[in-house]
Amino acid sequence: MQQILTQGVVTRAIDYGENDKIVTIITPEHGRLSGLLRGVKKVTAKMKFASQPFCFAQFKLIGRGDLLTVANATEIENFFDITQDYRATVAGSAILEIADSVSLLQEPDKLLFSGLLHALKTLAVTETDPDVVLMRFALGVFKITGYAMNLKTCKNCGKALSSDMVRFDADTGEFCCIHCSPTRYIPISGRTLEIMQNLTKLQFAELENIVINDTEAHEFHQIIRTNFAIRFGKDLKSIAV
Ligand SMILES: [Zn+2]
């Protein structure tokens, strides 16, 4: 029998039987954990808050093997405000989905957890554009998993990418200049690339003044979704077209 005391963020919850739920929790020291929340679908359940995605709490889990039982949960900070805004909900769900997909079962990952926490906090308590937060988080995840995006040079000619239009190769997840790439590559505005280049140098607390338009937000989703599918073989449902 093991007992785990840990901070964690709930990324997913699925129904289990009549009254229970199984939650996926991302933690710094134990990676991804699955926890059974007994009786949590009853109206009077005390730990109902812990059965919702975005819950950030101190958990006590007990049991054996891969499915543990949540014995106790105490909220640390409330991130549920994210769900009050549509764009924040979409970006926040994509952040949870990315963290959930790249975290490993019971393997520590403090960098991923720290990025997840900063991203959710920024979404919940600041006016930062949700898709800027999502892109900053995604770029960080690509980097810590060994797939840092090359935002500086063309994959074909090796020259510095200019601030004009560029293209994105949906087969390899790389950028190239407009001149030396086939038209089947996805056109990306120079400003989208420029914002991405800036994001790699900034902390979450420094993103509040970055304003993006609908085109840039759309291109952000396209780049993250495409690159994520190439690197991790998985479609991000939260930002599917
Ligand atoms: Zn080129």
Task: Decide which of 78, 93, 120 is a domain's last residue.
Answer: 78
Where in the sequence is the domain holding 47, given as residue range(s)? 2-78
DSSP code at position 49: G
Average pLDDT over the chain reads 95
Gap from CA of 171 to ligand 1 centroid (Å): 17
For 121-148, what is the mean pLDDT? 97
Neighbours of 17 (CB within 10 A): 10
Gap from CA of 229 to ligand 1 centroid (Å): 24
Check residue 215 and give its pLDDT: 95
Proportion of the chain above pLDDT 70, given as a percent: 100
User: Which phi and psi (to 5°) does residue 52 adopt?
Assistant: -115, 135
For 122-145, what is the mean pLDDT? 97
Same domain, 103 and 49: no
Gap from CA of 228 to ligand 1 centroid (Å): 23
Check residue 65 and give its pLDDT: 84
For 85-104, what is the mean pLDDT? 96
Gap from CA of 220 to ligand 1 centroid (Å): 21
SS3 of residue 168 by DSSP: strand
Q: How far apart are CA 136 and CA 116, in angstroms?
A: 11
Total tally of structural domains belonging to the chain: 2
Same domain, 156 and 65: no
Same domain, 139 and 209: yes
Task: Decide which of 18, 43, 78 is a domain's last residue.
Answer: 78
Same domain, 157 and 222: yes
Same domain, 51 and 93: no
Segment 8-62, tens digit of pLDDT: 999 999 999 999 999 999 999 999 999 999 999 998 899 999 999 999 999 999 9
Gap from CA of 141 to ligand 1 centroid (Å): 26
Q: Is the pLDDT reported for residue 177 higher than 90?
A: yes
Same domain, 99 and 38: no
Gap from CA of 178 to ligand 1 centroid (Å): 7
Q: How far apart are CA 161 and CA 150, in angstroms?
A: 10
Gap from CA of 70 to ligand 1 centroid (Å): 53
Task: Decide which of 50, 78, 106 is a domain's last residue.
Answer: 78
Residues, CB-to-ion distance under 5 Å, ligand 1: 154, 156-157, 177, 180
CATH of the domain at 18: 2.40.50.140
Phi-psi region of 145 (alpha: psi -120 to 50; beta: other; left: phi over 0): alpha
Same domain, 69 and 149: no
Same domain, 110 and 22: no
Q: Is the pLDDT reported for residue 158 higher than 90?
A: yes
Check residue 105 and give its pLDDT: 84
Gap from CA of 161 to ligand 1 centroid (Å): 7
pTM reported for the whole predicted model: 0.95
Instruction: State the pLDDT confidence band at 66, using cuts at 50, 70 and 90.
Output: confident
Gap from CA of 124 to ligand 1 centroid (Å): 40
Same domain, 31 and 147: no
Check residue 106 and give its pLDDT: 80
